[in-house]
Amino acid sequence: MRISPVAFLLLIVVAIALFGGKRLPDLARSLGKSMRILKSEAKAMRREGSDAPPPQPPAQDARPAVEAPRTIKAAPGDSGASRPSTGQGPGRQG
Protein backbone atom coordinates (compact mmCIF):
# COMPACT_ATOMS: atom_id res chain seq x y z
CA MET A 1 0.00 0.00 0.00
CA ARG A 2 1.44 3.32 -1.06
CA ILE A 3 0.68 6.70 0.43
CA SER A 4 0.16 9.42 -2.14
CA PRO A 5 2.21 12.62 -1.78
CA VAL A 6 -0.93 14.64 -1.01
CA ALA A 7 -1.90 12.26 1.85
CA PHE A 8 1.67 12.39 3.17
CA LEU A 9 1.67 16.21 3.21
CA LEU A 10 -1.71 16.21 4.93
CA LEU A 11 -0.34 13.81 7.55
CA ILE A 12 2.66 16.11 8.16
CA VAL A 13 0.41 19.16 8.55
CA VAL A 14 -1.84 17.34 11.03
CA ALA A 15 1.19 16.15 13.04
CA ILE A 16 2.60 19.69 13.22
CA ALA A 17 -0.81 21.02 14.28
CA LEU A 18 -1.19 18.38 17.01
CA PHE A 19 2.32 18.29 18.45
CA GLY A 20 3.81 21.64 17.45
CA GLY A 21 6.98 22.24 15.47
CA LYS A 22 9.28 22.14 18.49
CA ARG A 23 8.16 18.76 19.81
CA LEU A 24 8.29 16.82 16.53
CA PRO A 25 12.11 16.35 16.45
CA ASP A 26 12.07 15.13 20.07
CA LEU A 27 9.22 12.78 19.28
CA ALA A 28 11.06 11.37 16.26
CA ARG A 29 14.27 10.98 18.27
CA SER A 30 12.54 9.08 21.09
CA LEU A 31 10.76 6.89 18.53
CA GLY A 32 14.13 6.06 16.93
CA LYS A 33 15.66 5.18 20.30
CA SER A 34 12.72 2.96 21.14
CA MET A 35 13.05 1.14 17.80
CA ARG A 36 16.79 0.54 18.37
CA ILE A 37 16.18 -0.81 21.88
CA LEU A 38 13.42 -3.09 20.66
CA LYS A 39 15.62 -4.39 17.83
CA SER A 40 18.58 -5.09 20.14
CA GLU A 41 16.37 -6.87 22.69
CA ALA A 42 14.85 -9.05 19.97
CA LYS A 43 18.35 -10.02 18.77
CA ALA A 44 19.42 -10.84 22.34
CA MET A 45 16.36 -13.04 22.87
CA ARG A 46 17.04 -14.92 19.63
CA ARG A 47 20.70 -15.38 20.58
CA GLU A 48 19.78 -16.69 24.06
CA GLY A 49 17.29 -19.11 22.54
CA SER A 50 19.89 -20.61 20.19
CA ASP A 51 22.61 -20.88 22.88
CA ALA A 52 20.37 -22.60 25.42
CA PRO A 53 20.84 -26.36 25.78
CA PRO A 54 17.85 -28.55 24.95
CA PRO A 55 15.51 -29.01 27.90
CA GLN A 56 16.29 -32.04 30.07
CA PRO A 57 13.53 -34.37 31.20
CA PRO A 58 12.88 -34.14 34.95
CA ALA A 59 14.97 -36.55 36.97
CA GLN A 60 12.95 -39.34 38.50
CA ASP A 61 13.38 -39.54 42.24
CA ALA A 62 13.77 -42.95 43.89
CA ARG A 63 11.29 -41.92 46.57
CA PRO A 64 7.70 -40.99 45.80
CA ALA A 65 6.75 -37.34 46.22
CA VAL A 66 4.38 -38.10 49.11
CA GLU A 67 5.46 -40.88 51.36
CA ALA A 68 2.75 -43.03 52.92
CA PRO A 69 2.94 -43.38 56.72
CA ARG A 70 4.71 -46.59 57.73
CA THR A 71 3.29 -48.91 60.34
CA ILE A 72 5.36 -51.10 62.62
CA LYS A 73 3.79 -54.52 63.06
CA ALA A 74 3.76 -56.04 66.54
CA ALA A 75 6.07 -58.96 67.19
CA PRO A 76 4.38 -62.38 67.55
CA GLY A 77 4.79 -62.43 71.35
CA ASP A 78 4.07 -58.70 71.87
CA SER A 79 0.76 -57.83 73.51
CA GLY A 80 0.62 -54.34 71.98
CA ALA A 81 -1.06 -53.67 68.67
CA SER A 82 0.67 -52.13 65.70
CA ARG A 83 1.54 -48.45 66.02
CA PRO A 84 2.58 -45.75 63.54
CA SER A 85 6.27 -45.10 63.08
CA THR A 86 7.67 -41.68 64.01
CA GLY A 87 10.66 -42.09 61.71
CA GLN A 88 13.10 -41.74 64.60
CA GLY A 89 15.33 -44.37 66.13
CA PRO A 90 14.58 -46.26 69.39
CA GLY A 91 14.79 -44.27 72.58
CA ARG A 92 14.23 -40.91 70.87
CA GLN A 93 11.17 -38.84 71.41
CA GLY A 94 10.03 -36.34 68.91
Other Cβ atoms closer than 10 A to 15: 15
Distance CA(16)–CA(26), nearest Å, equals 13
57 in Cβ contact with 71 (< 8 Å) = no
Tell me whether residue 83 is in a domain.
Answer: no
63 in Cβ contact with 75 (< 8 Å) = no
* pLDDT at res. 38: 95
Residue type, position 89, single letter: G
38 in Cβ contact with 29 (< 8 Å) = no
Tell me whether residue 94 is in a domain.
Answer: no
In the beta sheet, which residues pair with residue 71?
84
* pLDDT at res. 39: 95
The domain in which residue 41 lies consists of 5-50
- Averaged pLDDT, groups of 10, the chain, 94 residues long: 85 85 85 94 87 63 61 65 56 52
Tell me whether residue 86 is in a domain.
Answer: no
